[in-house]
Chain A
Amino acid sequence: MCGIVGIVGDGIRAGRVLGECLRRLEYRGYDSVGVATISEGKIRVVKGAGKIDEVDARLCFSCLEGGVGIGHTRWATHGPPTDENAHPHVDCKGRIAVVHNGIIENYVELKSELERKGHVFRSQTDTEVVAHLIEENVSQGYEPFSAFKRSVSRLKGSYALAVLIQDTPDRIYFARKHSPLVIGIGDGRVFLASDIPAFLEYTRRVITLLDGELGYISRDTVYIERLNGEVVDPSSRVFTVDWTPESARREGYPHFMLKEIHEQPRVINDTVTGFGEDYEKGADLLHGSDTIFITAAGTSYHASLFFSLLTAKLAGRRVIPFISSEYESYAHIAGRGDVLLAVSQSGETIDTLMALRAFKARGCRVVSLTNVVGSVISRESDQAVYMKAGPEIGVAATKTFTTQLTALTWLASLVARRSGRLDEGDIRSIRERLRALPDLASEVIMKNEGWAKQMGRFMSVKSSAYYLSRGLGLPIALEGALKLKEVAYVHAEGYPAGESKHGPIALVEPGFPVIFVSIESYLEKKLLGNVEEMKARGAFTVGILPEGSELAERVEDRVIIPSRDELLLPVLSVIPLQLLAYYTAVERGADPDKPRNLAKTVTVE
């Protein structure tokens, strides 16, 4: 996901206005930023890696003159966040500038075709082919708009494009397929953006472009046509928005947390399809180590605990998990042959970074798993591995947790392959099974949101709850309890079910909610005993259970996960618990997106 803006207008300094618009879109991407304007008949481009304010302070794109310009804020998925890879991208002569959101699927073919014709590429992105493609069409004698249209017709994949062509200095060309793009009509200026908040400060009159539409804007024109050439009357499409920038960004969901829970099938799919070389190299390092340590904080720690249990089970390897802020007790036992796997959603978590540095100082090598390409932790590690959850706005991690679990399942499987416990056929089968996750996750959300809403009402009047499990389910139970605490402010504890009778059970009284998570079938009998213990004390028992679970008839309320695959169940089982925390918070009148006292990225120890 990236942010695009464009502006044409009289008497403005495009660089400054584009900067303001980009700041409104920073939630869509923040790895690198760039702006191109046309002034005195020439395209000028300023771009670089870093956050908007950093890049502006360093390169001053706000200083760019001219009344026409485009801008971009990037969230890297293909190619690291470097100055070269930042948008806009230009053609060989610097007469065409392009910003793009989406993926050009056929860029490899297009790139080699254009390279054969002598075009020189400077970046590792898929976007640059668009600039050269238009250049090629212009050089064949097509006038700019025709050249743009011919180029767009060659693109496969998803795109929102904004393009400057020096020969027509008063226009911005645009095209949309799958990725969003809107036009804002202000007084004496027209905007283009991937999202309405970009220009809400300047105008509330908006045209939403539909898939397959393209055209151009100038100071006094909005021209739109469909891919089949049919011309659209833009005047019939103008509407006035009366919402706040924040509600616009939620895309109709009441909270970011719910939006991100619903996005999980898509981002899990992005993560699974993104398993590449980085995972192989990470697995090589982990396999070659004497001891594997894994560290993280908060939700990421639960994912790490899961990895240690899964790797022990699949690969027969000992993995020592520890909470990042406790690194001083672990670093001194690490040596040169060991590897630390550092897990952080933001890649900037200070506790994890400190642990990483302490381990490096002992001569350990470091593999990192983060969601942010080029983040501090990934830069300081020997091998960075990424999940592809996209930016997460809600403070409580949801989609980043399930993509962490997905990524770590694959990493554990690759380590197991290297240790000889799994063969190539097993690995192929695991990948196939992981590919089923998005559809199953979608089914879990669709079937259980109603349950979560009802259970949330029940939970909202309780002062405490237990989340119990065994084995691979334990990290899920811990995460479920953490979510309830974080967003709904209901005290909850995750506990190994077998340990519950050594203390926690003292608190159980009639109506006390106890949620059981069952993942591994061989542990069900034992879990059943724990259910009975709790019921005997009047607890209200709830099960998050796989299909065919023996516990289904023994608990008072249940969610049945549509799978028995123990590799997939952890990801799927946490989803109802996320929904439960969300609805409990809503029922209690709390804002789940802004839990009190919490910050998205923890940068102080």
Chain B
Amino acid sequence: MKTVVLTGGRTNRMLPLTDGYPRALLSIMGKPLFMYPLTSALRATGDKAIVVTSEDVPMGEIVRSVNESGYAASVSVRVQQLPGIEGALLAAAEALEGDEWFMLVYGDVIVEEDAFRRILEVHRGEERPSVLLVPRPDVQAFGAAFVRENLVTRVVESVSGKETSYVVGGAFILPSEFFALLERGLKFFEALNYLIEKIGVYAAYWTGEWVAVDYPWDLINAFYSLTKRKCGLSIAATARVSHTAILEGCVIVDAGATIDHYAVLKGPVYVGRGAFVGKGAFVREYTSIEERAVVGAHTEVKRSVIQPQATVGSFSLITDSVMGYRSVAEPRTTVLSVLPDDYTLSRELPLQGLIGKKKKLGVFVAPHARIKAGSVVGPAVKIYREGKIEGI
């Protein structure tokens, strides 16, 4: 069964990280976001995939990532002409070559391939459309589903209260007739509800790790989710790790990365291709330092994602934060991250439930933006390129 992976769209919810930068190409553990659902789905189905993207996403970057993954022969890329998820699906229709069923996957969902296997099992058991459903306490921030045993009774784009706790998990198995419904002008969820009523749609429950990267801080949860599956100590042959550095627990050092003298990396930590961790730096749990990013000397970073080519200056403290592509925190930047007790967010905070009772959120920095040397920033703020600071 072929898979359609959607990578278009530049949601405002991801700002400031998507300020002039496509969401699909945000990097996590050395790979752009969309590659995770794409490769997991390909492994589960053993068939081909169609990546649908929009005009504002550099197609060359998408193709380059696919080629580097070794899956080039199984993947074709299409650019959508019409807006929305409906337009993206219609762009993929032709490439499905008349198959009776296809799997639709959101490109911003990080989930194990077993989740795709589960939805395939459910579909094959009954030969009906199926939807991946994920139990979440903060269902208000997602599309939601109502169920009765293993049958979906209704899907809605959002719920206001706690009528259900099932999130529509971004993976669907749909019949090719679905395109006809979209061509008739039905919206995606309307067409799904039509199927629910006419032929029945089955629920594939996914109880394992699942992260939809929809808000900047979801990248931190995504890193947690990826390292939770399987992670040990791994140092690439071309990496340079000083003999005085200490690497503890799950630490992955990718090709060409440098870990300088007396740096301490306490995993789970990822250091991407060509990245640099300076002398005496302290990189703590759940930190991903992407390709050619720099963490300066004597700097402490924890529970954070540093996007490609970003720089964290020396003597800084960065926690619970995401630094955008080529952004810079100048030396002696301090991030505050402890939130007031009454602070609420419409969805789970990063690593909630793991860090105790105190809720924490740091800063989220736009691509190319700078934080001036010696600044004390946060908690829970977005920093834009022109220096504008916004609360979350």
| Interface residues in chain A, defined as those with a beta carbon under 8 Å from any beta carbon in chain B | 196, 206, 208, 210, 236-237, 239, 241, 243, 247-248, 251-255, 258, 262-263, 265-266, 442, 446-454, 457-458, 461, 511, 540, 582-583, 586
Contacts and interface: CB of A to CB of B under 8 A. Distances in A.
Most buried by B among A237, A241, A252: A252
A254 B166 contact: no
Nearest to B127: A208
Contacts of B121: 243, 247-248, 252
B148 interface: yes
9 contacts: A196-B125, A248-B121, A252-B118, A254-B205, A442-B148, A447-B162, A447-B163, A450-B137, A586-B207
Interface string B352-367: 1110110000000000
Given A252-B202, A254-B118, A451-B137, A446 B356 contact: no
B350 to A, nearest CB: 13
Given A208-B126, A446-B164, A454-B353, A252 B148 contact: no
Nearest to A454: B137
B135 interface: yes
Contact of B165 (A239, A252, A266, A447): A447
A454 B150 contact: no
Contact of A457 (B203, B353, B356): B353
A461 B356 CA distance: 11
B356 A511 contact: yes
B354 A461 contact: yes
A453 B137 contact: yes
A258 B133 CA distance: 13
Nearest to B46: A242
B348 interface: yes
Contacts of A451: 137, 165
Given A447-B165, A450-B136, A450-B166, A511 B357 contact: yes
B149 A449 contact: no
Q: Is the interface of A mostly helix, strand, loop or mixed?
A: helix
A583 B165 contact: no
Most buried by B among A248, A254, A458: A254
B148 A265 contact: yes
B63 interface: no
A16 to B, nearest CB: 28
A258 B150 CA distance: 11
B41 to A, nearest CB: 15
Contact of A453 (B149, B203, B207): B207
A257 to B, nearest CB: 10
Contacts of B139: 450
B119 to A, nearest CB: 8
A237 B354 contact: no
What are the 5 closest A-B residue pairs judged by CB atoms, nearest first?
A450-B165, A252-B122, A449-B135, A450-B137, A450-B136
Contacts of A447: 162-165
Contact of A252 (B162, B205, B208, B357): B205
Given A208-B126, A251-B150, A253-B205, 13 more contacts: A208-B125, A236-B100, A239-B127, A243-B121, A251-B122, A252-B125, A252-B130, A252-B150, A254-B205, A446-B164, A453-B207, A457-B353, A582-B207
Interface in B106-162: 117-119, 121-122, 124-127, 130, 135-139, 146-150, 162
B202 to A, nearest CB: 7
B204 interface: yes
Contacts, number: 95
A449 B135 CA distance: 6
Contact of A253 (B117, B124, B150, B165): B150
A368 B164 CA distance: 38
Given A237-B127, A252-B122, A258-B205, A449 B165 contact: yes
Contacts of B125: 196, 208, 248, 251-252
Contacts of A253: 150, 205
Given A251-B150, A252-B118, A451-B137, A446 B124 contact: no
Contacts of B357: 511, 540
Nearest to B114: A254
Given A210-B127, A252-B205, A453 B136 contact: yes
Nearest to A236: B100
A603 to B, nearest CB: 32
A564 to B, nearest CB: 18
A241 B124 contact: yes
Nearest to B163: A447
B150 A450 contact: no
A446 B166 contact: yes
Most buried by A among B124, B138, B202: B124
Most buried by A among B100, B135, B166: B135
Contacts of B150: 251-253, 262
A252 B166 CA distance: 16
B67 to A, nearest CB: 28
B228 to A, nearest CB: 10
Interface string B46-68: 00000000000000000000000
Contacts of A461: 354
A239 B127 CA distance: 9
A343 B289 CA distance: 59
A450 B138 CA distance: 8
Interface string B197-219: 00000111111100000000000
A449 B136 CA distance: 7
Nearest to B202: A252
A387 to B, nearest CB: 18
Nearest to B161: A447
Nearest to A442: B148
B352 A454 contact: yes
Given A447-B163, A450-B139, A583-B207, A265 B149 contact: yes
A254 B121 CA distance: 11
Contacts of A196: 125
Contact of A258 (B148, B164, B207): B207
Nearest to A254: B207
A530 to B, nearest CB: 21
B149 A266 contact: yes
A454 B349 CA distance: 11
Contacts of A586: 207-208
A252 B204 contact: yes
A132 to B, nearest CB: 32
Most buried by B among A237, A453, A586: A453
Contacts of A442: 148
B144 to A, nearest CB: 10
Contacts of B136: 450, 453-454
Contacts of A252: 118-119, 121-122, 125, 130, 150, 202-205
Contacts of B148: 265, 442
Contacts of B356: 511
Contacts of B117: 243
Most buried by B among A208, A248, A446, A461: A446
A450 B207 contact: no
Contacts of B137: 450-451, 453-454
A262 B207 contact: no
A247 B120 CA distance: 12
A585 to B, nearest CB: 10
Contacts of A446: 146-147, 163-166
A453 B207 CA distance: 8
Nearest to A266: B149
A194 to B, nearest CB: 12
